[in-house]
Amino acid sequence: MENPGFLNPADKLVLIVDDDESVRDLLEFVIKKEGFRIEKAVDGEDALNKARHSSPDLILLDLMLPKFGGFEILRELQSDETANIPIIIITGRYIDRSTSEMIRQEPNVKDFFEKPVKPQLIAALLHKILKTQPPIKRG
Protein backbone atom coordinates (compact mmCIF):
# COMPACT_ATOMS: atom_id res chain seq x y z
CA MET A 1 0.00 0.00 0.00
CA GLU A 2 1.33 3.40 -0.95
CA ASN A 3 1.66 5.91 1.83
CA PRO A 4 -0.26 9.06 0.85
CA GLY A 5 1.81 12.20 0.92
CA PHE A 6 5.05 10.41 0.10
CA LEU A 7 6.54 10.23 -3.35
CA ASN A 8 8.06 7.16 -4.94
CA PRO A 9 11.90 7.17 -4.87
CA ALA A 10 11.89 5.60 -8.35
CA ASP A 11 10.51 8.90 -9.66
CA LYS A 12 13.50 10.79 -8.27
CA LEU A 13 16.91 11.20 -9.92
CA VAL A 14 19.99 11.77 -7.76
CA LEU A 15 23.20 13.06 -9.39
CA ILE A 16 26.37 11.83 -7.66
CA VAL A 17 29.38 14.05 -8.30
CA ASP A 18 32.69 12.69 -7.02
CA ASP A 19 36.04 12.02 -8.67
CA ASP A 20 36.74 9.08 -6.34
CA GLU A 21 35.35 5.92 -7.89
CA SER A 22 35.08 4.05 -4.59
CA VAL A 23 32.99 6.88 -3.10
CA ARG A 24 30.80 7.03 -6.22
CA ASP A 25 30.27 3.28 -6.06
CA LEU A 26 29.35 3.36 -2.37
CA LEU A 27 26.91 6.24 -2.88
CA GLU A 28 25.43 4.53 -5.94
CA PHE A 29 24.88 1.35 -3.94
CA VAL A 30 23.22 3.19 -1.04
CA ILE A 31 21.03 5.38 -3.24
CA LYS A 32 19.90 2.57 -5.54
CA LYS A 33 19.10 0.40 -2.51
CA GLU A 34 16.78 3.19 -1.35
CA GLY A 35 14.96 3.00 -4.68
CA PHE A 36 16.23 6.19 -6.36
CA ARG A 37 17.48 6.48 -9.91
CA ILE A 38 21.02 7.78 -10.28
CA GLU A 39 23.30 9.61 -12.64
CA LYS A 40 27.03 10.00 -12.01
CA ALA A 41 29.58 12.67 -12.85
CA VAL A 42 33.34 12.52 -12.29
CA ASP A 43 34.29 16.19 -12.50
CA GLY A 44 32.85 19.68 -12.41
CA GLU A 45 32.32 20.04 -16.13
CA ASP A 46 30.55 16.68 -16.33
CA ALA A 47 28.44 17.63 -13.29
CA LEU A 48 27.23 20.90 -14.80
CA ASN A 49 26.37 19.25 -18.12
CA LYS A 50 24.43 16.45 -16.44
CA ALA A 51 22.68 18.81 -14.03
CA ARG A 52 21.47 20.91 -16.96
CA HIS A 53 20.47 18.03 -19.22
CA SER A 54 19.02 15.44 -16.86
CA SER A 55 17.46 17.82 -14.31
CA PRO A 56 18.19 15.74 -11.21
CA ASP A 57 15.97 16.09 -8.15
CA LEU A 58 19.00 16.29 -5.88
CA ILE A 59 22.79 16.52 -6.26
CA LEU A 60 25.42 14.95 -3.99
CA LEU A 61 28.45 17.15 -4.61
CA ASP A 62 32.05 16.55 -3.62
CA LEU A 63 33.91 19.83 -3.04
CA MET A 64 37.28 18.59 -4.28
CA LEU A 65 36.96 18.00 -8.02
CA PRO A 66 39.10 18.24 -11.13
CA LYS A 67 37.98 20.85 -13.74
CA PHE A 68 36.22 23.44 -11.54
CA GLY A 69 36.12 22.96 -7.79
CA GLY A 70 32.94 22.30 -5.87
CA PHE A 71 32.57 25.95 -4.90
CA GLU A 72 32.56 27.07 -8.54
CA ILE A 73 30.02 24.39 -9.38
CA LEU A 74 27.88 25.46 -6.45
CA ARG A 75 27.84 29.01 -7.84
CA GLU A 76 27.12 27.80 -11.38
CA LEU A 77 24.25 25.63 -10.17
CA GLN A 78 22.65 28.66 -8.52
CA SER A 79 22.20 30.29 -11.87
CA ASP A 80 19.84 29.35 -14.67
CA GLU A 81 17.57 26.31 -14.66
CA THR A 82 19.48 24.39 -11.98
CA ALA A 83 18.96 26.99 -9.23
CA ASN A 84 16.23 25.03 -7.45
CA ILE A 85 18.00 21.66 -7.26
CA PRO A 86 18.82 20.80 -3.63
CA ILE A 87 22.48 19.98 -3.03
CA ILE A 88 24.15 17.90 -0.34
CA ILE A 89 27.87 18.63 -0.06
CA ILE A 90 30.28 15.79 0.64
CA THR A 91 33.88 16.59 1.43
CA GLY A 92 36.95 14.61 2.33
CA ARG A 93 38.72 17.66 3.63
CA TYR A 94 38.38 19.07 7.09
CA ILE A 95 36.33 22.26 6.92
CA ASP A 96 36.50 24.77 9.72
CA ARG A 97 33.32 26.06 11.29
CA SER A 98 33.25 29.42 9.52
CA THR A 99 33.63 27.77 6.10
CA SER A 100 30.98 25.20 6.92
CA GLU A 101 28.61 27.96 8.04
CA MET A 102 29.32 29.84 4.82
CA ILE A 103 28.51 26.73 2.76
CA ARG A 104 25.28 26.15 4.69
CA GLN A 105 24.19 29.71 3.85
CA GLU A 106 24.14 28.91 0.14
CA PRO A 107 20.50 28.86 -0.99
CA ASN A 108 20.63 25.45 -2.67
CA VAL A 109 22.73 23.62 -0.03
CA LYS A 110 20.58 21.48 2.24
CA ASP A 111 23.30 19.81 4.28
CA PHE A 112 26.81 18.53 4.19
CA PHE A 113 28.79 15.52 5.26
CA GLU A 114 32.45 14.84 5.79
CA LYS A 115 33.87 11.60 4.44
CA PRO A 116 33.67 8.82 5.28
CA VAL A 117 29.94 9.16 4.69
CA LYS A 118 27.51 7.17 6.77
CA PRO A 119 25.11 5.44 4.36
CA GLN A 120 22.12 5.47 6.72
CA LEU A 121 22.46 9.24 7.27
CA ILE A 122 22.64 9.91 3.54
CA ALA A 123 19.64 7.63 2.91
CA ALA A 124 17.54 9.28 5.63
CA LEU A 125 18.41 12.77 4.40
CA LEU A 126 17.57 11.95 0.78
CA HIS A 127 14.13 10.68 1.77
CA LYS A 128 13.54 13.71 3.97
CA ILE A 129 14.55 16.28 1.32
CA LEU A 130 12.80 14.51 -1.56
CA LYS A 131 9.72 13.61 0.53
CA THR A 132 10.00 9.95 -0.38
CA GLN A 133 9.65 6.81 1.65
CA PRO A 134 12.20 3.99 1.82
CA PRO A 135 11.18 0.83 0.01
CA ILE A 136 9.60 -1.80 2.22
CA LYS A 137 12.18 -4.42 3.10
CA ARG A 138 10.73 -7.86 2.60
CA GLY A 139 12.49 -10.48 4.69
Question: What digits encode the pLDDT tens for the residues 73-87?
Answer: 888 998 878 999 999
Domain assignment present for residue 43? The answer is yes
Domain that holds residue 78: 9-130
Task: Give me the number of domains the chain comprises.
Answer: 1
Confidence of residue 1 (pLDDT cuts 50, 70, 90): very low
Tell me whether residue 120 is in a domain. Answer: yes
Strand order in the sheet with 13-17: 37-41, 13-17, 58-62, 87-91, 109-114
Q: What one-character DSSP code corresponds to residue 132?
A: B
- Give the CATH number, domain containing residue 85: 3.40.50.2300
> Residue 63 domain-assigned?
yes
Residue 109 within any structural domain of the chain: yes
Q: What is the pLDDT of residue 139?
A: 57
Task: For residue 116, give the nearest of 13, 20, 15, 17 by alpha carbon.
Answer: 20
Give a yes or no: residue 2 inside a domain. Answer: no
Tell whether 68 is covered by a domain.
yes
pLDDT confidence tier of residue 138, bands split at 50, 70 and 90 = low
The distance between the two most distant Cα atoms of the chain, rounded to a whole number of Å, is: 45
Is 83 within a domain?
Answer: yes
The answer to the question of residue 136 being in a domain is: no
Nearest to 17 by CA among 55, 59, 76: 59
State in Å, rounded, how far the first CA of the chain is from the last one: 17
